[in-house]
């Protein structure tokens, strides 16, 4: 019988799962890895498995893209079948995608306990599909692994019992520490793009709320075009964003430098070398912080509010290209306050230890409370 059935489907989940899978194996827990197929392009999926040393999924549902309802329904059907076949003790889900929601709902309806990595995040914008996924997944989860004290307090305000909440720190930080060590071995993309030390802006655009609204997408690209007339702007383009831009044949993206999606290691290289990172991605906001690079979030709000408070991140309305340009320029050369809101790089081990304790019926360690207090002070 499988002890942990893990669900992944999108780029950020592959990254998060890599250190957690290693920690589960070290803890002696058996894992069955399900890939929903939400990200299926080789540059958004296969490259991450190979770079991160993540073993091939035990099952790929091959769902692909589609409308939210159709995609989630196909995932739910496949996940239900996998859970019935494997009979896991726990279903482990990551983040806030449709894959997260499908895994959590399938498990909950079959009375299999759910453990949610990156629980408690809130943008407080119910217009975001990701926010709905977060709220519903947290509601049906038995173990809530929170990456920050802000996330912990969000759950407490919602009345979640303390025994369900486990402060672990952020598994993305684990991944940065784990895989960042391999970067000096090869120059990678910096050499190919002839990044020679001159300042540049790295931008990523992929969220449905941006790409599905052509006015927003055009405004974001216009803001980047303004900056690109003054300094280099590099955009690894998500397939969804490329498809939407092709629907605007009269809109010229030049002089913005559009490149193909990049793997995790090359993305780290670009992030570390950038003068400013502009993004609508939740994960990239944190990656910028880990590399101590100022970030501009191309949204009205963020689920990573502590980065705004610390001064490493700032918001720019995606509907105001002038504000986007001015905010990026104002971020150049800035630094935020030193802090460790996401732990010390052992979140994966804490998750594995909690699941192992649950599997053996031992009392779950609660020293996370003291550790959390010491790191956020």
Residue pLDDT, tens place only, 116-151: 999 999 999 998 889 999 999 999 999 999 999 999
> Are 116 and 154 within one domain?
yes
Beta bridge partners of 257: 234
H or E stretch at 190: helix 189-192
| pLDDT value of position 361 | 66
Question: Tens digit of pLDDT for each residue in 177-224?
Answer: 988 766 666 667 998 999 988 999 999 998 888 888 889 999 999 999
Dihedral, 276, 282, 284, 286 alpha carbons, nearest 10 = 90
Average pLDDT, integer, range 329-357: 97
| pLDDT value of position 374 | 42
| pLDDT value of position 116 | 98
> Are 235 and 318 within one domain?
yes
| pLDDT value of position 263 | 83
Catalytic residue among 39, 116, 206, 238: 206
Domain containing residue 311: CATH number: 3.40.50.2000
Asked if residue 175 belongs to a domain, the reply is no
Average pLDDT, integer, range 151-175: 96
206 annotated active-site: yes
Phi/psi at 78 (5° precision): -65, -40
Q: At residue 366, does pLDDT exceed 60? A: no
CA terminus-to-terminus distance, the chain:
42
The number of distinct structural domains making up the chain is 2
| pLDDT value of position 184 | 60
> Are 209 and 353 within one domain?
no
Range of 41's domain? 4-170+342-375
| Cα 154 to Cα 159: distance, rounded to the nearest angstrom | 9
| pLDDT value of position 355 | 97
| Cα 275 to Cα 216: distance, rounded to the nearest angstrom | 24
> Are 124 and 99 within one domain?
yes
Average pLDDT, integer, range 3-15: 92
> Are 123 and 241 within one domain?
no
| Cα 241 to Cα 238: distance, rounded to the nearest angstrom | 5
> Are 235 and 302 within one domain?
yes
Q: What is the 3-state secondary structure (H, E, C) of 339-357?
A: CCCCCCCCHHHHHHHHHHH
Q: At residue 234, does pLDDT exceed 50? A: yes
> Are 161 and 135 within one domain?
yes
> Are 18 and 65 within one domain?
yes
Asked if residue 180 belongs to a domain, the reply is no
Asked if residue 368 belongs to a domain, the reply is yes
Question: Tens digit of pLDDT for each residue in 249-304?
Answer: 777 888 999 999 888 888 999 999 999 999 999 999 999 999 999 999 999 999 99
| pLDDT value of position 56 | 86
Asked if residue 183 belongs to a domain, the reply is no
Q: Name the residue among 375, 372, 374, 326 with its Cα closest to residue 167.
A: 372
Q: What is the pTM of this model?
A: 0.88
> Are 25 and 122 within one domain?
yes
> Are 221 and 243 within one domain?
yes
| pLDDT value of position 64 | 73
Q: Name the residue among 77, 76, 73, 38 with its Cα closest to residue 57.
A: 38
Q: What is the DSSP letter of 307?
A: H
Q: What is the DSSP letter of 147?
A: S
| pLDDT value of position 51 | 74
Asked if residue 176 belongs to a domain, the reply is no
CA-to-CA dists, residue 236 to 98, 189, 232, 261, 289, angstroms? 23, 11, 13, 5, 19
Percent of the chain clearing pLDDT 70 (strictly above) = 90
Higher model confidence: residue 318 or residue 363?
A: 318
| pLDDT value of position 206 | 86
> Are 295 and 237 within one domain?
yes
Q: At residue 50, does pLDDT exceed 90? A: no
Q: Can you state the angle between helices 171-180 and 264-273, rounded to 10 degrees?
A: 90
Cβ atoms within 10 Å of 49's Cβ, excluding its own: 18
| pLDDT value of position 200 | 98
Asked if residue 337 belongs to a domain, the reply is no
> Are 61 and 161 within one domain?
yes
Contacts of 82 (CB under 8 A, 6+ apart): 5, 32, 34, 59, 61
Q: What is the CA radius of gyration of the chain?
A: 20
């Amino acid at each position: 019988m499988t002890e942990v059935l893990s669900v992944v489907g999108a780029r950020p989940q592959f990254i998060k799962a890599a250190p957690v899978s290693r920690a589960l194996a070290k803890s002696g827990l058996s894992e069955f890895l399900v890939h929903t197929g939400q990200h299926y392009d080789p540059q958004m999926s296969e490259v991450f498995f190979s770079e991160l040393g993540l073993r091939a999924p035990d099952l790929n549902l091959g769902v692909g893209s589609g409308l939210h309802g159709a995609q989630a329904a196909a995932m739910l059907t496949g996940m239900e079948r996998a859970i019935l076949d494997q009979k896991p003790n726990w279903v482990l889900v990551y983040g806030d995608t449709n894959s997260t929601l499908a895994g959590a709902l399938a498990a909950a309806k079959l009375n299999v306990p759910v453990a949610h990595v990156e629980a408690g995040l809130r943008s407080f914008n119910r217009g975001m599909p990701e926010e709905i996924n977060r709220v519903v997944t947290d509601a049906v989860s038995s173990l809530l692994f929170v990456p920050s004290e802000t996330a912990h307090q969000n759950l407490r305000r919602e009345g979640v019992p303390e025994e369900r909440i486990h402060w672990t720190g952020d598994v993305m930080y684990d991944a940065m520490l784990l895989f960042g060590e391999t970067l000096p071995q090869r120059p990678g993309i910096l050499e190919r793009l002839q990044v020679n030390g001159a300042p540049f802006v790295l931008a990523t655009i992929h969220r449905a709320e941006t790409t599905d609204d052509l006015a927003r997408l055009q405004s974001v690209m216009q803001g980047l075009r303004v900056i690109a007339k003054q300094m280099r702007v590099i955009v690894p383009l998500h397939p969804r964003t490329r498809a939407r831009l092709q629907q605007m044949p009269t809109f010229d993206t030049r002089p913005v430098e559009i490149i193909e999606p990049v793997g995790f290691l090359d993305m780290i290289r670009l992030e570390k070398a950038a003068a400013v990172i502009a993004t609508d991605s939740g994960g990239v906001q944190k990656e910028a912080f880990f590399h101590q690079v100022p970030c501009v979030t191309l949204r009205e709000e963020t689920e990573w509010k502590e980065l705004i408070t610390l001064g490493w991140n700032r918001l720019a309305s995606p509907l105001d290209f002038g504000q986007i340009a001015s905010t990026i320029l104002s971020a150049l050369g800035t630094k935020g306050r030193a802090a460790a809101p996401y732990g010390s790089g052992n979140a994966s081990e804490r998750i594995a230890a909690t699941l192992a304790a649950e599997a053996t019926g031992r009392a779950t360690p609660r020293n996370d409370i003291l550790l959390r207090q010491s790191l956020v002070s």
